[in-house]
Amino acid sequence: MIGLAPSFTAMGRGNQFREGTPDMTVDEVTNSTKESSRSARRRRNREVAAAKDSSAAAQVVRKDRPAPARREAPAGKGNIITRFLRGIANYFTSTRAEIQKVTWPTRAESLRLSGIVLGVTVVSSIALGILDFLYGELFRIGFNAPVVFGVVALVLAVVVIGATWITRRT
């Protein structure tokens, strides 16, 4: 196994490369490792460059400035009140720095996504209302005629057993 660091072992005739040729000396192994690591490094650099080119379209838009560094006082300085207040100040400072890094959606994106959320909420509430109405009617009819409960229970059992059988078969 040729890795970043060559692995040597004593095999009777001095130090030799473990998975290399048994006749290689330490100098030959070092030179071959340097050559292979250079070519491997070049190959990796080419692959990374190709990957960067292909993923350039999928990159997130970032600001052209780095995030401000976090300034913290050395631990244990000051009394308990100043350390507590310093901790709160550091929290708000780091929160502000993180908020500045956020890429906020445009007004059009916000309206579109809000519309989607409202639409899904309305459809879900209508579906739940219909189910509530149907189950309420089913129980009202079932309490007036108990045979209905037996028929519904039998149909429900057949559906559940059939669905289980079909899913386990495939």
Average pLDDT per block of 10 residues along the chain, 170 residues long: 47 48 58 63 77 60 65 66 91 94 94 98 98 90 81 90 90
Helices (H), 12-106: 26-54, 80-101
pLDDT of the residue at 66: 67
pLDDT of the residue at 59: 58
Residue 122: alpha-carbon gap to chain centroid: 30
pLDDT of the residue at 108: 96
Instruction: Evaluate whether 103 touches 64 at the Cβ level (below 8 Å).
Output: no
pLDDT of the residue at 109: 96
Q: What is the DSSP string of 111-150?
A: HHHHHHHHHHHHHHHHHHHHHHHHHHHHHHHHHH-THHHH
Whole-structure pTM value: 0.37
pLDDT of the residue at 112: 97
pLDDT of the residue at 76: 61
Instruction: Evaluate whether 30 touches 41 at the Cβ level (below 8 Å).
Output: no
pLDDT of the residue at 48: 74
pLDDT of the residue at 26: 58
pLDDT of the residue at 150: 84
pLDDT of the residue at 9: 46
Closest CA to 25 of 4, 38, 33: 33
